């Protein structure tokens, strides 16, 4: 199955990404059995969210 590869490659990478969009996409992945995430996990200032087999990697925006 390709599920592992797919889940590792999905990146939400935009400073303007809306948490609800990310949440919906994650719900979609969950429903396909790719990943398990929990609602309320997202913060609107996250700039990059990478879903892996182990869970979720978050890259916070760098502060100057």
What does the alpha-carbon distance between residue 31 and residue 46 come to, in Å, rounded to a whole number?
A: 23
What does the alpha-carbon distance between residue 36 and residue 51 come to, in Å, rounded to a whole number?
A: 10
What is the reported pLDDT for 24?
Answer: 74
What is the reported pLDDT for 7?
Answer: 43
Spans of all domains in the chain = 3-59
pTM of the model: 0.33
- The set of residues, in sequence order, having a beta carbon less than 8 Å from that of 34 and lying 6+ positions away, is 3, 6, 7, 10, 51
pLDDT tens readout for residues 4-46:
454 444 555 444 556 676 677 767 766 766 555 544 445 555 5
Q: Across residues 40-62, what is the average pLDDT?
A: 56
pLDDT class of 58 with cuts at 50, 70, 90? low
């Amino acid at each position: 199955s390709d599920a592992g590869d797919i889940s590792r490659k999905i990146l939400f990478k935009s400073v303007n990404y809306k948490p609800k969009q990310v949440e919906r996409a994650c719900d979609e992945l969950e429903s396909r059995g790719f990943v398990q995430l929990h609602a309320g996990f997202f913060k609107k200032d996250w700039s990059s969210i990478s879903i892996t087999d182990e869970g979720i990697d978050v890259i916070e925006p760098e502060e100057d």
